[in-house]
A = this chain, B = another copy of it.
Amino acid sequence: MNAYQPRTEDSAFLLLQVLDASQQLQELPPFAEVDAGLMQQVLEEAGKFVGDVVAPLNRSGDETGCRFEAGRVTTPAGFRPAYQAFWQAGWPALACAPEDGGQGLPAVLQAVLYEMLSAANHGWTMAPGLLHGAYECLRHHGSDALKQRYLPRIASGEWLATMCLTEAQAGSDLGLVRTRAVAQADGSFRLSGTKIFISGGEHDLSDNIVHLVLARLPDAPAGPKGLSLFLAPKFLPEGRRNPIFCERIEEKMGLHGSPTCVMRFDDATGWLVGEPHRGLNAMFVMMNAARLHVGLQGIGLLEAAWQKAQAYAQERRQMRAPGASSTSLIAEHPAIRRILDTQRAWIDGGRVLAYRTAIELDLARHHPDADRREHAQRWCSLVTPVLKAAFTQQAFGGASECLQVFGGHGYVREWGIEQIVRDARVTMIYEGTNEIQAIDLLVRKVLADGGAGLSALLQELALGLDGQQASQAGVLRRFDALRTQTAALVQASPARADLPYWVADDFLRALALALLGWAWTQIECRSAGQARPARWSGPARALALWVLPEFDMRLGIIQTQLTGNERSARA
């Protein structure tokens, strides 16, 4: 079965024509020269690298997996040369600042690059995928000395980075972290403790590994507000090996190309990043970008699954489709058509939302006007958890539907579709489980300001929609319903502290569907004159028929709990 191939024309259309990315970005001083032509060219080059170098390693990476022996981790054959080619070609530095050796391009191009990389080879992509968080974190919170020593090599990707957060007893609840940090006379710290689930904690892809480690100072208060962040490299500046040891790698359901390490810090040397006890704060700078990237992984994996299923459905013949006079391609059978078009509805709409979020990240960083920056920040803060949760769920569920297209062959490894299902499953868990995204959205983002931010965002998206067109009227109706229900939740929650936690998942789903509907109105506006109208009209129909009906169901579920009338639920 052929490997995934990036289709940059689709992404370019959504980015440049549906979202007007180049016009918006050219208003930002650092991107004044970034026109549509340049963006398209970058995407095509990226697609070529991804398709030629990274995608062919996906299947063998899953089959071989990473090997652990005596503290060393060997990645699958071809992974190191591909990574060396990747950083030497400048890809990790795409959106880094020129003063750090970066190319200074918009983050949205990096977003599309990582969507393609995840589609091509999720396991391999885990390693560079962690660079950008480390870069942002160090750039904003590192001391000058640390920055001078580490920032350029993280920006370039010459050295890879990790995030050492989780411990056996501290998963979603980082307040329970126990790793200790003790100050030394020379201004450094000694770190001791054991971290688990460390992606790329040890490997052979790069010559050094820079760990960012959450730990607790001796005088730290208990809980999450007693955590500090430290940088601790595998090799110290003088070349000595820092006592940071990989104890084992996990055997996992998938993602075999990425080593998930148990890391022991044995009085390892590190340096403080940011202020003492403000470690979580230092990490928040990268939270939205990191979660957006997981959402993009979901979209990429779903695209990879769709490509495989689509190719198979266009080649395999079984039974007659309704009305056909001889054995049909399975793509002509309604059940298969529905699966394929439904995934496209999620992928294309998801791209609009994810690319728009990446553009807003660029605006939040670089727009000259503070109001517009805050505005962009609001978008990111509200939409990012939705993207992370809804599109990773769809990646897993939708890839499983694509597997179904293959019948029994889907269950057999050689076709590669079951790998996507296994790989995709982890995206629902890491970077904050999807349940935690839902609580983050409803409790910390929506209810915290009495629903004002969400209401303003929806109002803004509603501008320019025309109530006469059915699909746009549908969006307006859903936005209104969401606003009404948000107001009811704002009112009811103070007296019922657990209510938001019971309905958070449904609220996130409802918002995801409302935004997806909006995204498709934007696609429909711009695709009307396109050469292949069926390319967009099939998925638009699938969206209306099979995806959006869930919205009312979700609102109904919330309503039942809001009214507290569970008796009505039964009838």
CB-CB contacts of A175-193 with B at 8 A, as 1s and 0s? Answer: 1100000000000000000
Q: B251–A412 contact, CB under 8 A?
A: yes
- The contact of A570 among B252, B333, B470, by CB within 8 Å, is B470
Interface of A, secondary structure class, is helix
Map CB proximity to B onto A110-147 as digits: 1 under 8 Å, 0 otherwise. Answer: 00000000000000000000000000000000000000
Chain B residue contacts of A422, Cβ below 8 A = 253, 422
Contact with B along A56-78 (1 / 0, CB 8 A): 00000000000000000000000
Question: In the docked arrangement, what's the CA distance between A367 and B546, Å?
Answer: 44
Most buried by B among A429, A556, A571: A571
Smallest distance from the beta carbon of A230 to chain B beta carbons, Å?
22
Give the contact stretch, choosing among A3-11, A19-27, A151-159, A165-173: A165-173
Known: A319-B173, A404-B433, A421-B253. A569 touches B557 (CB 8 A): no
Interface residues of A in 413-452 (CB under 8 A from B): 413-414, 418, 421-422, 425-426, 428-430, 433-435, 438-439
Across the interface, do B557 and A411 meet the contact criterion of CB distance under 8 Å? no
CA distance A173 to B545 in the complex (A): 28
Q: Which of B251, B403, B501, B544 interacts with A414 by CB under 8 Å?
A: B251
Do A171 and B407 have beta carbons less than 8 Å apart?
yes
Please provide the chain A residues from 78 to 94 with a CB less than 8 Å away from any CB of chain B in the complex.
none
Chain B residue at minimum C-beta to C-beta distance from A171: B407
Among candidates B321, B407, B412, B438, residue contacting A433 with C-beta atoms closer than 8 Å:
B407
A566 touches B (CB below 8 Å):
yes
Q: Which residues of B contact A429 (CB under 8 A)?
A: 404, 407-408, 410-411
A546 touches B557 (CB 8 A): yes
* Total residues of chain A contacting the partner, CB 8 A: 82
Q: Please tell me if the beta carbons of B501 and A333 are within 8 angstroms of each other in the complex.
A: yes
Q: Which of B172, B403, B421 contacts A407 (CB 8 A)?
A: B172
Given contacts A501-B333, A548-B569, is CB(A425)–CB(B421) below 8 Å? yes
Given contacts A422-B253, A473-B571, contact A566 B545 (CB under 8 A): yes
Counting CB contacts under 8 A, is A553 at the interface? yes
Q: Which of A470, A498, A570 is most buried by chain B, counting CB atoms within 10 A of its CB?
A: A570
Q: Evaluate contact between B566 and A335: CB separation under 8 angstroms.
A: no
Q: Are A252 and B171 in contact (CB under 8 A)?
A: no
Q: Are B544 and A498 in contact (CB under 8 A)?
A: no
* A470, closest chain B residue (CB): B570
A362 at the interface (CB under 8 A from B): no
Q: Is A474 an interface residue (CB 8 A)?
A: yes
Ranked 10 nearest A-B pairs via Cβ: A322-B498, A253-B418, A335-B435, A470-B570, A173-B318, A471-B570, A334-B501, A544-B569, A251-B413, A553-B553
Q: Taking beta carbons and an 8 Å cutoff, which residues of A are in contact with B?
A: 166, 171-173, 175-176, 196-197, 250-255, 260, 318-319, 321-323, 327, 333-336, 338, 396-397, 400, 403-404, 407-414, 418, 421-422, 425-426, 428-430, 433-435, 438-439, 470-471, 473-474, 477, 497-498, 501-502, 504-505, 541, 544-546, 548-550, 552-553, 556-557, 560-561, 566-571
| 22 A-B residue pairings within 8 Å (CB atoms) | A166-B408, A171-B407, A196-B408, A197-B408, A251-B412, A253-B418, A253-B421, A254-B411, A260-B412, A323-B497, A323-B498, A335-B435, A335-B504, A396-B400, A404-B434, A411-B425, A470-B571, A473-B570, A477-B571, A545-B566, A545-B569, A552-B553
